[in-house]
Amino acid sequence: MYHLAFPLLVGLIAIALAFDFLNGLHDAANSIATVVATRLLGPVQAVAFAAFFNFAAYFLTLAFPSLHKVAETIGKGLIEQQLITPAVVFSALVGAMFWNVVTWLKGIPSSSSHALVGGIVGAGVARAGISGIQWAGLNKTLIAIVLSPVLGMLLAMLIMLITSWMMQRSTAHRAERRFRVLHLISSATLSISHGLNDAQKTMGVITVLLFSTGYLHGKFAVPPWVAISCYIAMGLGTRWERCSMG
């Protein structure tokens, strides 16, 4: 356990929420790209749409607490839990935020989640060497980095073939009308999954910080105030992207 003055703890939590805010800002384009490209919604409308469903993911976690498994992996599944000191948390967050800002300014598509994972692992290795890595948790993340785009491509091809076959006898107007509704549903689902998945990264960081400094005890669990704070920060980040677009 590491002693940390309460003002410093508050400062670290604020930095974590700033990362979450930046995550919402950085990844907003992922949620709105298709609806804007197809002119289904204007840019400002699309970002507001994404922000709403980013935050709506919070209510899913209220109904299904087991959905916080990602937060557990981030909090205790990447490096040994005793290695997570305030300095490690600070280094991981600043490193991930720096990469997010660089890729955002350069227009490079990248994952805020993987930046944070790399930051945590990098800070942990700098403190204790390779032996501090939890390979079971890290390997799952590394495998997901490779599988995610491949599975996305294959499933997209399959869905494209199925929908083309289903709509082959429809008129262009009827098919377009149906696809508009389906497209909005798919965009909302993507925004919910983004909020559900990415907000948990910051939840895991804040929660393990609270445990390592003695402010939480017992079984690893995300406090409700941490969860709602992270969803609000992500939603506000997406909202800020809307404001910057006018």
Q: Residue holding tokens 């703890």?
A: 9
Residue 178: the pLDDT is 79
CB-CB contact of 16 with 93 (8 Å): yes
Give 93 or 42, the one with higher predicted confidence: 93
- The pLDDT-based confidence of 71 (bands split at 50, 70, 90) is confident
What are the tens digits of pLDDT across the range 167-197? 887 777 787 777 888 888 888 888 888 888 8
For the chain, what are the domain ranges?
A: 6-135+172-244
Residue 17: the pLDDT is 95
Selection from 242, 216, 179 nearest residue 13 by Cα:
216
For the segment 125-141, the average pLDDT, to the nearest whole number, is 89
**Tokens standing for residue 136:** 């079971």
- 79 backbone dihedrals φ, ψ, rounded to 5°: -130, 160
The CA distances from residue 123 to 49, 116, 127, in Å, are: 36, 10, 6
What are the tens digits of pLDDT across the range 87-101? 999 999 999 999 988
For the segment 2-12, the average pLDDT, to the nearest whole number, is 86
Q: What is the DSSP letter of 66?
A: G
State yes or no: pLDDT of 119 exceeds 90: yes
Cα gap 22→83, rounded to integer Å: 26
Q: What angle do CA 229, 230, 233 make, to 5 degrees?
A: 85
How many Cα neighbours within 13 Å face the side chain of 69? 5
Residue 245: the pLDDT is 47
State yes or no: pLDDT of 230 exceeds 50: yes
Q: What is the DSSP letter of 170?
A: S
For the segment 127-137, the average pLDDT, to the nearest whole number, is 89
Residue 92: the pLDDT is 93
Its pTM stands at 0.84
Q: What angle do CA 68, 73, 75 make, to 5 degrees?
A: 90
